[in-house]
Amino acid sequence: MTTIIDVAKQAGVSFKTVSRVLNGESNVRPETKDKVLQAAQALNYRVNSAARRLRSKTPHLVALFLNNPSRSYAQDVQIGAMAGCQDAGFTLVVEDPEKNGAIERLAAQDGLLGAILTPPQSDDPKIIARLNAARVPFVRIGTERSVAGSNQVGIDDRAAAVDMTNYLIGLGHRRIGFICGPQDHEASLRRYKGYCDALQAAGIAFDNDIIERGDFTYASGLTLSERLLALENRPSAIFASNDEMAAGCLAAAYRRNIRVPEKLSVTGFDDSPVARVIYPALTTLHQATRDMSQKAIALLDQKRRQDSDEEIVVKLPHELVIRDSTGPFIPN
Partner DNA sequence: CTGAAAGCGCTAACAC
Partner DNA sequence: GTGTTAGCGCTTTCAG
Supply the minimum distance, in Å, between the C-beta of residue 92 and DNA: 20
Residue type, 202: A
Rounded Cα gap, residues 22 and 12, in angstroms = 16
The entry of a copy of itself, DNA, none near residue 71 (CB within 5 to 8 angstroms by kind) is a copy of itself
- Separation CA 271–CA 101 (nearest Å): 34
* Strand positions, DSSP E, 30-123: 61-65, 91-95, 112-117
The CA-to-CA distance between both ends of the chain, in Å, stands at 71
Q: Is 208 in contact with 157 (CB distance < 8 Å)? A: no
- Are 130 and 103 spatial neighbours (Cβ–Cβ below 8 Å)? yes
Measured from the Cβ of residue 261, the count of other Cβ atoms closer than 10 Å reads: 22
- Tell me, what DSSP letter sits at residue 123? G
278 binds, among DNA, a copy of itself, none (CB under 5 to 8 A by kind): a copy of itself
Which of 54, 126, 233, 310 lies at the binding interface for a copy of itself (CB under 8 A)? 54
41 binds DNA (CB under 7 A): no
Chain CA centroid to CA 116, Å: 11
Residue ranges in 46-85 that form contacts with DNA under rule CB under 7 A: 47-48, 51-52, 54-56, 58
**With CB under 7 A as the contact rule, which of the stretches 44-52, 149-157, 172-180, 288-296 interacts with DNA?**
44-52
Q: Determine which helix (DSSP H) or strand (DSSP E) holds 232, and give its type and residue range.
A: none
Question: Phi, psi at residue 194, to the nearest 5°?
Answer: -60, -45
* Residue 11 neighbours by CB under 8 Å, 6+ apart: 17, 18, 32, 35, 36, 38, 39
| Residue number with CB closer to a copy of itself (32 or 223) | 223
Exactly one of 255, 306, 312, 317 binds a copy of itself (CB under 8 A); which one? Answer: 255
Applying CB under 8 A, among 11, 64, 85, 139 the residue interacting with a copy of itself is 85
Binding mask 22-51 for a copy of itself (x = CB under 8 A): --------------------------xxxx
Judged by beta carbon distances under 5 to 8 A according to partner kind, the member of DNA, a copy of itself, none in contact with residue 78 is a copy of itself
In the list DNA, a copy of itself, none, the entry touching 123 (Cβ below 5 to 8 angstroms by class) is none
Q: Which is nearer to DNA, 19 or 72 (CB)?
A: 19
Among 254, 262, 302, 322, binds a copy of itself (CB under 8 A): 254
| Residue 222 engages a copy of itself in binding (rule: CB under 8 A) | yes
The site for DNA (CB under 7 A) is made up of 1, 3-5, 13-17, 19-20, 22-23, 27-29, 32, 47-48, 51-52, 54-56, 58
